[in-house]
Amino acid sequence: MFYLLTTFLAISSRLIILRLEKKSATARNIAVVGGTQEIKELITKIQAKSNDYNLKTIIVNKHDKNLEQQLSNEVDTYFGFKWLEPTIDRLESTDILLIAYNNLEDKVKARLFNLKSSPGTKIYILPTSYDPNFFDPDLTR
């Protein structure tokens, strides 16, 4: 009986560990909000780490033809902040929301700071300079 119980515990603990490893190994879904220049830089950095991050949604303050051509059809792209609140409300499958605001007006920055997202989404505001507490320093350099 003892051997049976020990075997059961060993197998179940191994399955739990495998499930956690699989969950942590998957790419995290990212949404990016911000000004055109910051978004372009972030997209390049995120696409370079495609094993870690999956770019799903981009909301840019104004339309940019080059940016539109740079993105694949798999990325939901919104030009203009009129889409901001309704789009953020629908980001349930997003793990990370990056806000890049350096060159935006103060009124727009206030809207970005007051965004509400789904409970599972972590919001990061990208500073101009390197922040050692940021989840991935390579994205800010």
3 state DSSP class of 50 = coil
Query: Would you say residue 10 lies in a domain?
Result: no
Cα–Cα distance for residue pair 54/76, rounded to 1 Å: 12
Q: What is the CATH number of the domain that holds 131?
A: 3.40.50
CA–chain centroid gap for 58, Å, is 10
Cα–Cα distance for residue pair 21/30, rounded to 1 Å: 20
Query: Would you say residue 101 lies in a domain?
Result: yes
pTM above 0.75, yes or no: no
Over the Cα atoms of the chain, what is R_g? 19
Query: Would you say residue 102 lies in a domain?
Result: yes
Domains identified in the chain, total number = 1
Question: Where are the extended beta strands (E) located within 1-112?
Answer: 28-34, 53-60, 76-79, 96-100
pLDDT of residue 72: 73
Query: Would you say residue 80 lies in a domain?
Result: yes
Q: Region 15-37: what's the mean pLDDT?
A: 71
Query: Would you say residue 87 lies in a domain?
Result: yes
- Give the range of the structural domain holding residue 41, as residue numbers without chain letter: 27-139
Q: What is the pLDDT of residues 29-83, one digit of tens each?
A: 888 887 777 788 788 888 888 888 888 888 887 888 887 777 777 788 878 777 6
Query: Would you say residue 90 lies in a domain?
Result: yes
Q: What is the pLDDT of residues 86-116, one digit of tens each?
A: 666 666 677 777 777 666 666 666 666 666 6
